[in-house]
Every structure is written in structure tokens, then in C-alpha cells.
């Protein structure tokens, strides 16, 4: 996956947690504003690293808080 690939939502995660942090993402062919908690795990990973991040411990904490299994 490239850094330019759009973020994608995981339909099973929609509405589970509301962080109030929104990004542009796709749901198939439709663009929408999605809470970061609704992203699929690869998209969340790319978003966490999108500004030069690379703190694996902090990333794993976010995954746990948002209910992603690693």
C-alpha cells in the first residue's frame, strides 16, 4: 500500500467508537468523512504514520484503545 492510497473504512467498525477525529475515506466508491475509529487497520496504520510517525508502542496503544487486534 502506498502513502497516496485513500483511507478505507471497515463497515463493521462504523459507529462503534467516536473519537471526534475525522479523515476523508472511502466506502467502496463513495467518499465520506470518517472517524479514525472506523478505518480498517491498514488505513489506520498509514494515518498514524502519515506525519513522519514511527512510535510502535504508541501505535499499539491506539490499536488497543480502538479495538484492533494485533
Please give the model's pTM, rounded to 2 decimal places: 0.85
Are 17 and 67 spatial neighbours (Cβ–Cβ below 8 Å)?
yes
pLDDT digits (tens, 9 = 90+) for 7-50: 999 999 999 899 999 999 999 889 999 999 999 999 999 999 99
What is residue 34's predicted lDDT score, i.e. its pLDDT? 96
Domain range for 51 is 7-65
Count other C-beta atoms under 10 Å from residue 14's C-beta. 13
CA distance 2 to 21: 22
Are 67 and 14 spatial neighbours (Cβ–Cβ below 8 Å)?
no
2 lies in some domain = no
Structural domain total, the chain: 1
70 lies in some domain = no
Phi-psi region of 20 (alpha: psi -120 to 50; beta: other; left: phi over 0): left
What is residue 52's predicted lDDT score, i.e. its pLDDT? 87
1 lies in some domain = no
- DSSP label of 61: H
Amino acid at each position: 500500500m502506498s502513502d497516496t492510497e485513500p483511507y478505507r473504512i471497515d463497515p463493521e467498525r462504523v459507529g462503534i467508537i467516536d473519537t471526534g477525529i475525522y479523515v476523508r475515506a472511502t466506502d467502496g466508491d463513495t467518499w465520506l468523512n470518517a472517524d479514525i475509529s472506523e478505518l480498517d487497520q491498514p488505513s489506520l496504520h498509514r494515518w498514524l504514520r502519515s506525519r513522519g510517525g514511527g512510535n510502535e508502542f504508541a501505535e499499539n496503544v491506539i490499536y488497543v484503545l480502538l479495538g484492533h487486534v494485533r
